[in-house]
């Protein structure tokens, strides 16, 4: 049972191969983000140009031929429309030619399931933090088995917030990891802290931090921004842990690569005797292997996908997906 997964929701075109939950390969090619951020059409052009080479590379790394594939998965959403379309087209074309089933995968669920799989946790609470998303999720059985969203950002994702700040501070590359580097050794300045129950907002914090760039030491601003944003996430996650009584916590998604965020969450989890896991960076960055993993789970569950469901959905919410495995 070999499944190939294609990820193309944002800057990364990734292809991975999975065999009974074992990751055989995970190839990717990332669009280089300019100081203007991501221009959807240009990112889609990139994905189209590299798609053949990345698919070929993933098959070679897995030591298999395209004829060995039993099913294919692709990212249906959430993500950037033109970028999602490239992955969808590649997946459907291959599946039609090989006469094998194709599975539309929710990107957020793929991040969670990859971390859950690697952690061997049974029923974790998940903090999913990436460019466009920031949510706290866990599975519930009713009215159908799905990931319910306990808390989420009411405006922008934490990754986009950090990238926006990085651009304003003229960091290169303008990513969260550059903000983390700058933040080292900074001193704390008070910042707006916006948590409402298990939900949170980031734009007020971002505006404040950008304004401070004219007056304060950039190192101190970066440090304070990071500490405040990660504290907000930790507080909301802690509340969700108390509400659900779950005993396992995972952090996943691009921003879960942050060492400082993992440190805070780990400390909080430890106080409540909750196990904590964060996957290696390879699986928190966008990748095809996690899409293959969920597609394989869908395939093995026996779910039948209608042709009309094989599309893309820019705002495909994790809590709308029926978990059939
Ligand atoms: Mg992602």
Q: How far is the CA of 323 from the centre of ligand 1 (A)?
A: 19
pLDDT computed for residue 238 by the predictor? 98
Q: How far is the CA of 140 from the centre of ligand 1 (A)?
A: 23
Q: How far is the CA of 187 from the centre of ligand 1 (A)?
A: 31
Q: How far is the CA of 130 from the centre of ligand 1 (A)?
A: 6
Q: Which domain holds residue 254?
A: 123-281
pLDDT digits (tens, 9 = 90+) for 12-29: 999 999 999 999 999 999
Q: How far is the CA of 122 from the centre of ligand 1 (A)?
A: 22
Q: How far is the CA of 132 from the centre of ligand 1 (A)?
A: 8
pLDDT computed for residue 150 by the predictor? 98
Q: How far is the CA of 314 from the centre of ligand 1 (A)?
A: 13
- Same structural domain, 259 and 131: yes
Q: How far is the CA of 148 from the centre of ligand 1 (A)?
A: 18
pLDDT less than 50: residues of the chain: none
Q: How far is the CA of 304 from the centre of ligand 1 (A)?
A: 26
What is the domain count for the chain? 2
- Same structural domain, 128 and 63: no
- Same structural domain, 68 and 155: no
Instruction: Give the CATH number for residue 81.
Output: 3.30.420.40
Residue 118 lies in a domain: no
Q: How far is the CA of 157 from the centre of ligand 1 (A)?
A: 11
Q: How far is the CA of 24 from the centre of ligand 1 (A)?
A: 20
DSSP state of 307: G
CB atoms within 10 A of CB 165: 26
Q: How far is the CA of 216 from the centre of ligand 1 (A)?
A: 32
Residue 115 lies in a domain: no
Question: How many angstroms separate the CA atoms of 175 and 171, rounded?
Answer: 8
E strand intervals along the chain: 2-7, 12-19, 22-30, 71-77, 102-106, 125-129, 134-140, 146-152, 195-196, 199-200, 248-252, 275-278
- Same structural domain, 135 and 100: no
pTM for this prediction: 0.96
- Same structural domain, 67 and 146: no
pLDDT computed for residue 32 by the predictor? 87
- Same structural domain, 81 and 157: no
Residue 325 lies in a domain: no
Whole-angstrom CA distances from 134 to 62, 128, 310 are 32, 6, 25
Residue 161 token pair? 């917030």
pLDDT digits (tens, 9 = 90+) for 74-107: 999 999 999 999 999 999 999 999 999 999 999 9
Residue 303 token pair? 């779910």
């Amino acid at each position: 049972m070999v499944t190939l997964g294609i990820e193309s929701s944002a800057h990364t075109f990734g292809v991975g191969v999975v065999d009974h939950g074992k990751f055989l390969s995970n190839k990717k090619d990332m669009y280089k983000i300019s100081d203007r951020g991501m221009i959807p059409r240009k990112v889609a052009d990139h994905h189209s140009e590299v798609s053949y080479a990345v698919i070929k590379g993933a098959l070679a790394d897995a030591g298999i031929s395209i004829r060995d594939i039993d099913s294919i998965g692709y990212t249906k959403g959430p993500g950037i429309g033109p970028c999602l379309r490239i992955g969808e087209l590649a997946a459907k074309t291959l599946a039609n030619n090989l006469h094998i089933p194709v599975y539309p995968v929710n990107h957020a669920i793929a991040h969670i399931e990859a971390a859950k799989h690697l952690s061997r946790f049974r029923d974790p609470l998940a903090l999913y933090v990436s460019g466009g998303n920031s949510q706290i999720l866990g599975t519930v059985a009713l009215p159908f088995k799905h990931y319910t969203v306990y808390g989420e950002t009411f405006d922008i994702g934490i990754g986009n917030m950090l990238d926006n700040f990085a651009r304003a501070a003229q960091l290169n590359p303008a990513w969260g990891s550059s903000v983390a580097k700058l933040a080292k050794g900074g001193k704390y300045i008070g910042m707006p802290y916006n948590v409402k129950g298990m939900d949170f907002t980031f734009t007020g914090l971002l505006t404040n931090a950008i304004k401070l760039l004219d007056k304060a030491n950039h190192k101190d601003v970066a440090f304070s921004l990071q500490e405040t944003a990660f504290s907000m996430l930790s507080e909301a996650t802690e509340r969700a842990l108390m509400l659900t009584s779950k005993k396992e916590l995972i952090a996943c998604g691009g921003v879960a690569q942050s060492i400082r965020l993992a440190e805070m969450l780990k400390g909080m989890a430890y106080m409540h005797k909750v196990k904590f896991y964060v996957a290696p960076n390879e699986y928190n960055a966008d990748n095809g292997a996690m899409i293959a993993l969920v597609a394989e789970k869908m395939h093995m569950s026996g779910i039948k996908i209608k042709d009309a469901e094989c599309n893309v959905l820019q705002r495909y919410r994790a809590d709308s997906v029926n978990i059939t495995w």
